[in-house]
Structure 1
Amino acid sequence: MEPQVWEPCNYQLADCSTEHAVWIPDIPVLCDYESTEMACFEETFVASSRRGQQLVQYAATVTSKAAFCVFESKSQELDSENKLWRDKMHRYPPSIRELGKQYTIPKIVSIGPYHHGLEHLKKAEEAKHVAAYSCIKHSGLELDEAVRKMYDAVVSVSGEARSLYDTDTMARIDDEKDFWPMMFYDACFLVQFMLRKTKKKSTIHPWLSSFFKCNKDDIYNDIMLLENQLPRVVIETLERFTPAVSLRSFATLLRSILQNSHISKDLEATSSAILYKQPHLLGYVRFIIVGTNKSERRQDPDKQPNNKVKSFSVGAIELAEMGIRLTPSETPELAHMGFKEGHLSAELFMPHIALNCLNASFLVNMAAFEITSKPAGQKKEITSKLMSDHGEDTAVCSYIQLLGMFMDREEDVRELRSKRILQGGGGLADKETLDFFTSLQGVSVTMGTLYHRTIDDVEIYKQNSWMCVKANTFLYRHTKTMLTTFSVIATLIGVYGALFK
Structure 2
Amino acid sequence: MEPAAWVPSNFQPVNWGMEPAAWSPGFPAESETESIEMYGSWIQSCIPNYSCGGQPLVEYYDPAAAAAAAAATQHYPLEKEAQDQSVEVVLYNMEMHCPNVSELQKVMNEFETDIDMIKEKMHRYPESIRDLGDQYTVPRTVAIGPYHHNRQQLKKAEQVKRVAAYHCIIESGRSELELYHEVASAANDVRRLYDKDVMQGIGYDDFQRMMFFDACFLVQYMIWLVDVSEEKADPWLRSFFYSNSDGIHHDVWLLENQLPWKVVKSVMKFSPVELDRFVDAWRDRLHDRKDLKGKPHFAWDDNYEPRHLLGLLRHYIVGRSRQNSRETDKDAADKLKSLSFSVGAIELAEMGITLRANETAELADMGLNNGIFFAELSLAPLSLNYARASRLVNMAALEMCYLTPTSVVTNIKDSAVCSYLVLLSMLVHREEDVHELRRKGILQGGSGLTNKQVIDLFPCFQSLPNGLCSTLTMQEIERYRMNRKSLIEGHAFWYRNKKSICTVFTTIVSVVSIVGTLIAILTKVKPLKAAP
TM-score bucket of the superposed structures, by smaller chain? 0.7 to 0.9
- TM-score, normalised with respect to structure 1: 0.81
Partner of 1:108: 141
**Partner residue of 2:241 out of 212, 217, 226:** 212
Question: Measured at CA, do residues 365 and 21 of structure 1 come closer, stay the same or move farther in structure 2, by a change above 3 Å?
Answer: same
CA distance in 2 between partners of 1:419 and 1:101 (Å): 32
Question: Measured at CA, do residues 14 and 449 of structure 1 come closer, stay the same or move farther in structure 2, by a change above 3 Å?
Answer: same
Of structures 1 and 2, the one with the larger relative CO (CA 8 A, separation 6+) is 1
**Partner residue of 1:229 out of 233, 254, 258:** 258
AA of the residue aligned to 1:456: Q
Matched, 1:155 2:184: yes
Matched, 1:301 2:331: yes
**Partner residue of 1:254 out of 275, 282, 288:** 282
Q: What are structure 2's unaligned runs of at least 5 residues?
A: 1-82, 522-532
Question: Measured at CA, do residues 122 and 464 of structure 1 come closer, stay the same or move farther in structure 2, by a change above 3 Å?
Answer: same
Aligned partner of residue 226 in structure 1, secondary structure: coil
Once the two structures are TM-superposed, the CA of residue 325 in structure 1 deviates from its matched residue by 1.1
Q: Is the 8 A contact 2:345 2:436 kept in 1?
A: yes
Partner of 1:380: 406
Larger Rg: 2
Once the two structures are TM-superposed, the CA of residue 498 in structure 1 deviates from its matched residue by 3.6
Question: For 1:97-144, what per-residue CA distance to the aligned partner results, in whole angstroms no more than 9, with x for missing partners?
Answer: 110010000111110000002111111112111111221222233xxx
CA distance in 2 between partners of 1:298 and 1:449 (Å): 10
Mapping for residues 237-386 of structure 1, pairs under 5 Å:
237-243=266-272, 245-261=273-289, 268-269=298-299, 271-273=301-303, 275-276=304-305, 278-293=306-321, 294-299=324-329, 301=331, 306-307=336-337, 309-374=338-403, 378-380=404-406, 385=409
CA distance in 2 between partners of 1:150 and 1:295 (Å): 45
Q: Is the 8 A contact 2:430 2:455 kept in 1?
A: yes
Mapping for residues 195-206 of structure 1, pairs under 5 Å:
195-199=223-227, 201-206=230-235
Q: Give the aligned length.
A: 433
Mapping for residues 392-403 of structure 1, pairs under 5 Å:
392-403=413-424
Partner of 2:450: 429
Once the two structures are TM-superposed, the CA of residue 499 in structure 1 deviates from its matched residue by 4.1
- TM-score, normalised with respect to structure 2: 0.77
Question: Measured at CA, do residues 480 and 215 of structure 1 come closer, stay the same or move farther in structure 2, by a change above 3 Å?
Answer: same
Percentage of pairs with the same residue: 41
Partner of 1:41: none
Matched, 1:438 2:469: no
Partner of 2:201: 172
Partner of 2:30: none
Q: Is the 8 A contact 1:108 1:222 kept in 2?
A: yes
Question: Measured at CA, do residues 20 and 460 of structure 1 come closer, stay the same or move farther in structure 2, by a change above 3 Å?
Answer: closer
Q: Is the 8 A contact 1:353 1:421 kept in 2?
A: yes
Once the two structures are TM-superposed, the CA of residue 339 in structure 1 deviates from its matched residue by 1.2
Once the two structures are TM-superposed, the CA of residue 302 in structure 1 deviates from its matched residue by 5.5
CA distance in 2 between partners of 1:24 and 1:179 (Å): 41
Once the two structures are TM-superposed, the CA of residue 79 in structure 1 deviates from its matched residue by 1.4
Question: For 1:245-290, what per-residue CA distance to the aligned partner results, in whole angstroms no more than 9, with x for missing partners?
Answer: 13343222211101345579685325333x21x2100011111101
Q: Is the 8 A contact 1:326 1:419 kept in 2?
A: yes
CA distance in 2 between partners of 1:313 and 1:335 (Å): 20
CA distance in 2 between partners of 1:250 and 1:13 (Å): 76
Matched, 1:461 2:480: yes
AA of the residue aligned to 1:210: S
Matched, 1:98 2:141: no
Question: Measured at CA, do residues 428 and 16 of structure 1 come closer, stay the same or move farther in structure 2, by a change above 3 Å?
Answer: closer
**Partner residue of 1:121 out of 144, 154, 176:** 154
Q: What are structure 1's unaligned runs of at least 5 residues?
A: 1-11, 28-62
CA distance in 2 between partners of 1:429 and 1:346 (Å): 28
Question: Measured at CA, do residues 401 and 472 of structure 1 come closer, stay the same or move farther in structure 2, by a change above 3 Å?
Answer: same
Matched, 1:88 2:116: no
Once the two structures are TM-superposed, the CA of residue 380 in structure 1 deviates from its matched residue by 2.3
Please provide the CA RMSD for this pair: 2.4
Partner of 1:69: 102
